[in-house]
């Protein structure tokens, strides 16, 4: 009896050992495969550092998470980055250094300037697909930038989503009026001409257009112009915070009931933190769910859990973190599709894989399945600040432009 | 120890290379520059080209600020004029790069003369503000003259070409940038062996005395502006060919400050110092990045922790140089040379 028990036990132990060995061997085999390198020129210092540190955290956390899931088709992922100070020449230097010592199929660019500058090199190399912090409309020109994509809607598409929302708010066929306030920079001017054309096409009247320096403080004269024009909506673009807060406070003090809206980089918690109750009602277009939104989904939960694991004290993670994570998610999907098709990780194959993304479920990062059009994800949702809760709440459905 | 270096004639005294040892080391230096692109990786080649462009621009600013004593904060604007000139001619004509660069230099020199006009009346900080205003004005033109400059989106240009050859990669661009940098530095060195160069120095040292000695201040000040701007224009043109894109944001005010800092750190009125200053200002951020990369395997959060520190370290190094060696890197270089020349005796 004892002998039979022992034999059976040994046999079970043997099977268990083989299973255990196989289970431990699987990750080892995965680690044996060539790592896939995520490269990045990241602005950890300089004027864009406020976002850069969170982009870096998002990319780092995603890399750790995907490796904990066995990597990409068994290939471990390695994230190699360098600080750029948000300077184009240093971003290019980082690119040369990282791509010189690694085979880098996907790369994070920290600015529109860098992504435009590196385009000729990317095109001649044909080895790397790039995305990054830029949502510039110009980068979705596939002829000039065939190996670059936008990890969300470009700025023109963001304006399109905002205008779609504004058009829906019209009562009895009356379309609301709008004013555009933007910074005197490439960033600020990006969507304005297309935005005006789109507004005209939709029958929305642009009653005022104001250009300021980014970060302006004294906007009294501009506020008076808006007071005369009395737009129903003011759309800000090309700012992070100032002068949005100045416009909002001064116009509300004048008793105007104008609604204020902004694009990606001016739609984070910073505006709530700095303005407090005055931020109430401010609306922003955002392609991703906010970290603390009521929305869910397997990937969004994975993001929250990984963020909590990597820094339990960090609390809320800004939209830059979500952007970093989503960039890496798209890279993973694109690399996976290319490997699954048995193709080499070249710029052309990666770009083709990106273009093939249709009705892709992002696991809750974006609330609806997304389709790539012209190297961008033209989807977003309008969120409004609830100052009491210090959070953004959705006020529209997800709007997917065609 | 090297002895017996007595000069027998004025020509010998004015010679660029006063001894065979100098000629030997300069030949070695040229050899190193020639071999460098064949052994360097893509990153080092890129840095080499960047230093080459910085050397040309710093040399130009050194002529104006270091040798003539006219402070300028317009260097980035002048480089922008050069960059846009090259971009425009590359897009609208089939001119080869030597001609586009020459046109960039000449047009920028003309703009420099205009900007330099106030220098007869104002100097010091007032002139700095006047050149700053010119830089802002030029930036406005780059951003708003849509038909010529492409507005805020800028211009993308085709690669440099000559006799059917195109210069696209960093390796190919190196053979334009570095030889041009060597030639332009030598040309600047020659300028200061002539009456013109000595007039610049006289103006710097005491402009009233210089005028009494028969130096036409307006003429020589404008000449200095023109020469300096020519260098900036060529550097801007090379910048355009190197990156193949120019936008108004390619030439920010911080770039002018960068070059002014390079001149000060290297040593005002010292061409070698300017070269060392340009190399120092370009390489130090890279060296500090290397330090971060070295620390990262031991401390994974090093990039986040170190990056803000790098700015402080960089600033501290510059302040340190200014306090402990106000004559700049050029003077340190001279001390090192003296040490070896007089070794084993104390200097």
**In chain B, which ranges are continuous DSSP H helix?**
10-14, 20-39, 42-61, 75-92, 97-116, 125-144, 146-149, 170-191, 195-205, 207-212, 217-243, 253-266, 271-295, 302-324, 328-342
What's residue A20's pLDDT?
A: 44
What's residue A19's pLDDT?
A: 45
- Residue A93 distance to chain B (closest CA, Å): 6
Q: Under an 8 A CB cutoff, do B248 and A186 touch?
A: yes
What's residue A110's pLDDT?
A: 93
> Among B41, B153, B307, whose Cβ lies nearest the Cβ of A186?
B153
Q: Under an 8 A CB cutoff, do B153 and A144 touch?
A: no
Question: How many Å apart are CA A267 and CA A279, to the nearest integer?
Answer: 11
Proportion of chain A above pLDDT 90, given as a percent:
72
What's residue B3's pLDDT?
A: 62
What's residue B117's pLDDT?
A: 87
Proportion of chain B above pLDDT 90, given as a percent:
43
Query: What CATH number was assigned to the domain covering residues A155-286+383-400?
Result: 3.40.50.2300
Taking Cα atoms as reference points, which of A337, A342, A398 lies closest to residue A369? A398
Q: What is the DSSP letter of A138?
A: G
**Is residue A18 scored above 70 in pLDDT?**
no
Higher pLDDT, B237 or B347: B237
**Choice among A387-401, B71-85, B152-166, B177-191 with the minimum mean pLDDT:** B152-166
Taking only the tens place, the pLDDT of each residue in B251-269 is: 888 889 889 888 988 888 8
Highest mean pLDDT among A10-19, A211-220, A392-401: A392-401
What's residue A12's pLDDT?
A: 46
Count of A–B CB contacts within 8 Å?
86
Taking only the tens place, the pLDDT of each residue in B88-124 is: 999 999 899 999 999 999 999 999 999 888 877 887 8
Strand B165-167 vs strand B160-162: parallel, antiparallel, or unpaired? antiparallel
**Omega of the bond leading into A348 within 30 degrees of 0 (cis):** no
- Mean pLDDT along residues A314-328: 95
For tokens 């201040």, the residue is B217
Task: Calculate the alpha carbon distances from A46 to A79, A117, A133, A267 in Å.
Answer: 21, 19, 14, 21
- Mean pLDDT along residues B138-147: 89
What's residue B5's pLDDT?
A: 67
Chain B contact probe: residue of A49, A58, A93 with most B CBs at under 10 A: A93
ipTM comes to: 0.77
What's residue A16's pLDDT?
A: 46
Q: Which residues of B touch A97 (CB under 8 A)?
A: 43
Domain topology for A36-153+293-371: Rossmann fold (3.40.50)
Residue extents of the structural domains in chain B: 40-342
Q: Under an 8 A CB cutoff, do A120 and B244 touch?
A: yes
What's residue A213's pLDDT?
A: 87
**Is residue B302 scored above 90 in pLDDT?**
no
Task: Calculate the alpha carbon distances from A178 to A182, A195, A225, B81 in Å.
Answer: 13, 11, 13, 38
Q: Under an 8 A CB cutoff, do B247 and A113 touch?
A: yes
Question: How many Å apart are CA A61 and CA A310, to the nearest integer?
Answer: 7
Proportion of chain A above pLDDT 70, given as a percent:
92
Q: Under an 8 A CB cutoff, do A93 and B168 touch?
A: no
pTM (2 d.p.): 0.83
What's residue B4's pLDDT?
A: 60
Facing residues of A202 across strands? Answer: none
Residue B269 dihedral angles phi and psi, to the nearest 5°? 70, 25
Chain A contact probe: residue of B57, B90, B153 with most A CBs at under 10 A: B153
Q: Which residues of B touch A144 (CB under 8 A)?
A: 156
Taking only the tens place, the pLDDT of each residue in A173-204 is: 788 999 999 998 888 998 999 999 999 999 99
- Mean pLDDT along residues A157-170: 92
Q: How confident is residue B14, by pLDDT bands cut at 50, 70 and 90?
A: confident
Kindly state the tokens that stand for A279. Answer: 């931020």
> Among B43, B243, B311, whose Cβ lies nearest the Cβ of A45?
B311
- Mean pLDDT along residues A269-287: 93
**Is residue A301 scored above 80 in pLDDT?**
yes
Q: Under an 8 A CB cutoff, do A93 and B42 touch?
A: no
- Mean pLDDT along residues A269-277: 91
**Is residue A237 scored above 50 in pLDDT?**
yes
* Contacting residues for A40 by C-beta, under 8 A, at least 6 apart: A56, A59, A79, A80, A81, A82, A94, A98, A107, A108, A110
Domain topology for B40-342: ABC transporter involved in vitamin B12 uptake, BtuC (1.10.3470)
Taking Cα atoms as reference points, which of A207, A258, A257, A262 lies closest to residue A240? A262
Q: How confident is residue A5, by pLDDT bands cut at 50, 70 and 90?
A: very low
Q: How confident is residue B347, by pLDDT bands cut at 50, 70 and 90?
A: low
Question: How many Å apart are CA B249 and CA A88, to the nearest integer?
Answer: 10
With contact defined as beta carbons under 8 Å apart, do B181 and B235 qualify? no
With contact defined as beta carbons under 8 Å apart, do B66 and B269 qualify? yes
Domains A36-153+293-371 and A155-286+383-400 share a fold: yes
What's residue A170's pLDDT?
A: 78
- Mean pLDDT along residues A389-396: 93
What's residue B1's pLDDT?
A: 55
Q: How confident is residue B225, by pLDDT bands cut at 50, 70 and 90?
A: very high
Q: How confident is residue A81, by pLDDT bands cut at 50, 70 and 90?
A: very high
Q: Under an 8 A CB cutoff, do B152 and A186 touch?
A: yes
Q: Under an 8 A CB cutoff, do B42 and A96 touch?
A: yes
Taking only the tens place, the pLDDT of each residue in B321-346 is: 788 888 888 888 888 888 877 777 76
> Would you list which residues of chain A are within 8 Å, Cβ to Cβ, of chain B?
42, 44-45, 49, 53, 56, 81-83, 85, 88-90, 92-94, 96-97, 99-101, 113, 116-117, 119-120, 124, 138, 144, 184-186, 189
Q: Under an 8 A CB cutoff, do A120 and B153 touch?
A: no
**Choice among A1-15, A144-158, B70-84, B183-197 with the minimum mean pLDDT:** A1-15
Q: Under an 8 A CB cutoff, do A116 and B43 touch?
A: no
Q: Which residues of A touch B307 (CB under 8 A)?
A: 44-45, 49, 83, 85
**Omega of the bond leading into B344 within 30 degrees of 0 (cis):** yes
With contact defined as beta carbons under 8 Å apart, do B252 and B258 qualify? no
* Contacting residues for B153 by C-beta, under 8 A, at least 6 apart: A138, A186, B247
Taking only the tens place, the pLDDT of each residue in A331-374 is: 999 999 999 999 999 999 999 999 999 999 999 999 999 999 98
Q: Under an 8 A CB cutoff, do A184 and B170 touch?
A: no
Q: Under an 8 A CB cutoff, do B307 and A83 touch?
A: yes
Q: How confident is residue A62, by pLDDT bands cut at 50, 70 and 90?
A: very high
With contact defined as beta carbons under 8 Å apart, do B241 and B86 qualify? yes
Q: How confident is residue A29, by pLDDT bands cut at 50, 70 and 90?
A: very low
**Is residue A312 scored above 80 in pLDDT?**
yes
Residue extents of the structural domains in chain A: 36-153+293-371, 155-286+383-400
DSSP assignments along B198-241, one per residue: HHHHHHHH-HHHHHHTT--HHHHHHHHHHHHHHHHHHHHHHHHH
Q: Which residues of A touch B156 (CB under 8 A)?
A: 116, 119-120, 144
What's residue A17's pLDDT?
A: 47
């Amino acid at each position: 009896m004892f002998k039979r028990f022992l034999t059976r036990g040994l046999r079970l132990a043997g099977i268990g050992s083989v299973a255990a060995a196989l289970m431990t061997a699987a990750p080892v085999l995965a680690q044996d495969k060539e790592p896939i390198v995520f490269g990045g020129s990241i602005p950890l210092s300089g004027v864009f550092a406020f976002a850069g540190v969170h982009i870096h955290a998002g990319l780092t956390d995603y890399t750790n998470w995907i490796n904990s899931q066995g990597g990409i088709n068994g290939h471990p992922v390695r994230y190699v980055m360098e600080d750029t100070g948000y300077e184009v020449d240093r971003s290019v230097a980082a690119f040369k250094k990282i791509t010189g010592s690694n085979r880098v199929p996907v790369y994070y660019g920290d600015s529109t300037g860098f992504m435009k500058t590196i385009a000729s090199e990317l095109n001649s190399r044909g080895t790397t697909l790039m995305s990054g912090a830029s949502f510039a409309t110009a980068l979705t020109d596939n002829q000039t930038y065939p190996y670059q994509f936008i990890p969300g809607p470009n700025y023109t598409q963001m304006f399109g989503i905002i205008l779609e929302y504004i058009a829906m708010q019209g009562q009895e066929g009356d379309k609301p009026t709008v004013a555009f306030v933007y910074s005197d920079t490439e960033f600020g001017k990006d969507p304005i001409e297309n935005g005006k054309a789109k507004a005209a096409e939709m029958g929305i009247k642009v009653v005022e257009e104001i250009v300021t320096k980014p970060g302006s403080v004294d906007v009294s004269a501009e506020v008076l112009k808006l007071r005369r024009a009395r737009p129903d909506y003011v759309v800000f673009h090309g700012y992070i915070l100032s002068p949005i807060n100045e416009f909002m406070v001064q116009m509300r003090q004048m008793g105007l009931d104008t609604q204020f809206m902004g694009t990606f980089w001016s739609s984070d918690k910073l505006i709530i933190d700095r303005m407090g109750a005055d931020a109430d009602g401010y609306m922003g277009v955002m392609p991703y769910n906010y970290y603390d939104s009521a929305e869910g989904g397997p990937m969004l939960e994975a993001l929250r859990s990984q963020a909590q694991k990597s820094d339990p004290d960090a609390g809320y993670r800004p939209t830059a973190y979500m952007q970093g994570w989503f960039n890496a998610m798209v890279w993973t999907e694109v690399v996976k599709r290319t490997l699954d098709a048995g193709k080499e990780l070249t710029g052309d194959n990666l770009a083709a894989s990106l273009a093939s993304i249709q009705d892709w479920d992002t696991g809750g990062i974006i609330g609806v399945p997304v389709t790539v059009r012209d190297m961008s994800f033209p989807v977003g949702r309008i969120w409004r600040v609830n100052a009491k809760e210090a959070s953004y709440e959705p006020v529209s459905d997800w709007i997917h432009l065609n | 120890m090297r002895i017996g270096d007595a000069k027998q004639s004025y020509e010998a005294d004015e010679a660029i290379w006063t001894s065979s040892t100098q000629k030997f080391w300069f030949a070695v230096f040229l050899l190193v520059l020639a071999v460098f692109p064949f052994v360097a990786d893509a990153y080092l080649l890129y840095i080499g080209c960047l230093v080459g462009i910085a050397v040309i621009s710093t040399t130009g600013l050194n002529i104006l600020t270091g040798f003539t004593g006219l402070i300028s904060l317009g260097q980035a604007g002048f480089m922008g004029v050069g960059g846009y000139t090259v971009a425009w001619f590359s897009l609208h004509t089939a001119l080869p790069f030597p001609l586009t660069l020459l046109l960039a230099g000449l047009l920028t020199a003309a703009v420099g003369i205009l900007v330099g006009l106030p220098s007869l009346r104002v100097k010091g900080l007032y002139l700095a503000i006047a050149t700053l205003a010119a830089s802002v004005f030029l930036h406005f033109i780059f951003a708003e003259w849509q038909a010529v400059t492409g507005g805020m989106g800028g211009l993308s240009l085709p690669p440099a070409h000559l006799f059917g050859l195109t210069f696209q990669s960093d390796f190919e661009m190196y053979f334009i940038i570095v030889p041009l940098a060597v030639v332009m530095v030598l040309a600047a060195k020659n300028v200061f062996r002539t009456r013109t160069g000595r007039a610049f120095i006289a103006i710097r040292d005491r402009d009233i005395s210089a005028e009494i000695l028969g130096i036409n201040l307006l003429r020589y000040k404008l000449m200095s502006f023109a020469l300096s701007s020519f260098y900036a224009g060529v550097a801007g043109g090379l910048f355009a060919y190197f990156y193949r894109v120019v936008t108004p944001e390619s030439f920010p005010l911080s770039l002018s400050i960068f070059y002014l800092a390079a001149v000060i750190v290297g040593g005002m009125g010292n061409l070698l110092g300017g070269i060392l200053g340009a190399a120092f200002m370009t390489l130090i951020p890279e060296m500090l990045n290397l330090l971060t990369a070295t620390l990262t395997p031991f401390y994974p959060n090093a990039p986040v922790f170190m990056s803000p520190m790098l700015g402080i370290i960089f600033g501290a190094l510059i302040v340190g140089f200014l306090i402990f060696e106000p004559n700049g890197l050029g003077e340190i270089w001279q001390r090192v040379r003296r040490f070896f020349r007089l070794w084993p005796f104390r200097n």
